[in-house]
Structure 1
Amino acid sequence: MHNGTKTEKRARGRPRAYDPDEVIASARDAFWQGGYSGTSLDALSEATGMNRPSLYGAFGDKHALYLSTLDRYVEAGLHAMEAALGGGLPLPRALQRVYDAALALYLPAGEEPRGCFLIGTATVESKVDADVRARLANGLRTFDRAFERRLKLAQAQGELVSAADPAVLARVASAILHSLALRSRAGDTRASLRATAAAGVALICGTPASNQRSRRNPA
């Protein structure tokens, strides 16, 4: 009798009418547009299609939801980087694929430039929020390590000279990403940003920039 009552209660309970991944993606886009401080709960409710009590019940408060969007962004970014860096491509082409994918994200077709979600929003909040600062640092280290793994492989395969330092070059590769993110938000053209990326690839790989330009897809 007791078990039957519990089952009946569960059956009558309201089913989950939202997709957590879609909600986090919608909240991320709202934060991306307005920044953490500039994004109200009403804006989040409108973006996600969930009222405040539902958002609180599913994801916690605004701060917790923002942290979730940062975590998900870094996770997705890592997967995208690993896909771009993999596949057995030569190092210059693999690096350029990372930057091309980043520019597609930072400069979405038909929309206003938005740059990098992590750098564009977390950098501001990290000054006063230790949780955000920790996630910013973890995200940057995560991308550094992805570059470093590919650079170590390139060194082992003779694509980089033995004297190269993969850890240092990985930070240089990340710094190019940061520059693309900031400059895209500032209004630099896609063509100029791709030229910057190509020059960075040439610097990392020790090859003439003209070789990298010849490998780029047309803008």
Structure 2
Amino acid sequence: MKDEKKRGRPRAFDAKAALAKARDVFWDRGFAAASLDNLSAATKLNRPSLYGAFGDKEDLYLDTLEGYRQDGMDALAEALDPSLQLRDNLARVYAGALAVYLHGEIAARGCLLIGTATVEAVEHERVREVLGRSLSDFDGAIEKRMRLAVESGELAEGADPQMLAMLASAVMHSLAVRARAGDSRETLEEIASSGVELICGSARQS
């Protein structure tokens, strides 16, 4: 399969740059509305080269989702630095998310996964798998930090790390949807701040 994909690649092919351009198209238009002409124009690859490099349109879309998921996990790991207070961690998570969600040449894009993959997950099994795995990975990373917070006394002994992690993720999902719907930065920052207070409300005062 990989050998087949390589046959159509131009000599100066930069897969990472091409994927970034394709991701922008999917992010703005969604999977269904992103045409091969749109993708070809954005990546500067003709159709044979596009197919040769990435396979069909769904393969290309999945590649962009995987790259987005990994970028998200890297950003999450940095934001959840355990040397910081939990509320600082969450504030950094939400600030980083908003920097992404509010970006866009036409309007705020929100989250690539929440904004596009949730639409396609019903009919596309592979998209559903990437979406589910991504959400699980994000929850798991946050849950790990929540468990440390319980162990260190930042959160009450009876706090449920798994549920708190899902709540923290739910706030992020809401920010993504509301950003795409046009809510102001001020409103989104207030939601994020309230989410931090809600989650850290059981934190013990030092």
TM-score by length of structure 1 reads 0.85
With over 3 angstroms needed to count, the CA separation of the structure-2 counterparts of 1:15 and 1:108, relative to structure 1, is closer
User: Any idea what the Cα deviations from partners look like across 1:130-150, whole Å, max 9, x if unmatched?
Assistant: 111111111111110111011
CA distance in 2, matches of 1:71, 1:16: 25
CA distance in 2, matches of 1:82, 1:190: 24
Residue 197 of structure 2 aligns to which amino acid in structure 1? A
Q: Report the counterpart of residue 7 of structure 1 in structure 2.
A: none
CA distance in 2, matches of 1:26, 1:18: 13
1:67 aligned to 62, 79, 83, which one?
62
Please report how far the alpha carbon of residue 112 of structure 1 lies from its aligned counterpart in structure 2 after TM superposition.
1.6
For 1:1-219, what aligned pairs fall within 5 Å after superposition? 16-86=11-81, 88-108=83-103, 112-206=107-201
Please report how far the alpha carbon of residue 167 of structure 1 lies from its aligned counterpart in structure 2 after TM superposition.
0.4
CA distance in 2, matches of 1:130, 1:110: 31
Bigger shift: residues 172-181 or 78-87: 78-87
Alignment RMSD, CA only?
A: 1.6
Give the secondary structure class of the aligned counterpart of 1:143: helix
Residue 21 of structure 1 aligns to which amino acid in structure 2? K
Give the secondary structure class of the aligned counterpart of 1:47: helix
Please report how far the alpha carbon of residue 207 of structure 1 lies from its aligned counterpart in structure 2 after TM superposition.
6.2
Please report how far the alpha carbon of residue 66 of structure 1 lies from its aligned counterpart in structure 2 after TM superposition.
0.4
With over 3 angstroms needed to count, the CA separation of the structure-2 counterparts of 1:84 and 1:111, relative to structure 1, is farther
CA distance in 2, matches of 1:177, 1:138: 16
Q: Report the counterpart of residue 6 of structure 1 in structure 2.
A: none
**Any stretches of 5+ residues in structure 1 without a counterpart?**
1-13, 209-219
Q: What is the percentage of aligned positions where both structures have the same residue?
A: 53
CA distance in 2, matches of 1:109, 1:131: 27
Give the secondary structure class of the aligned counterpart of 2:154: coil
TM-score by length of structure 2 reads 0.91
Number of residue pairs the alignment of both structures matches: 195
Bigger shift: residues 72-81 or 199-208: 199-208
Please report how far the alpha carbon of residue 110 of structure 1 lies from its aligned counterpart in structure 2 after TM superposition.
6.6
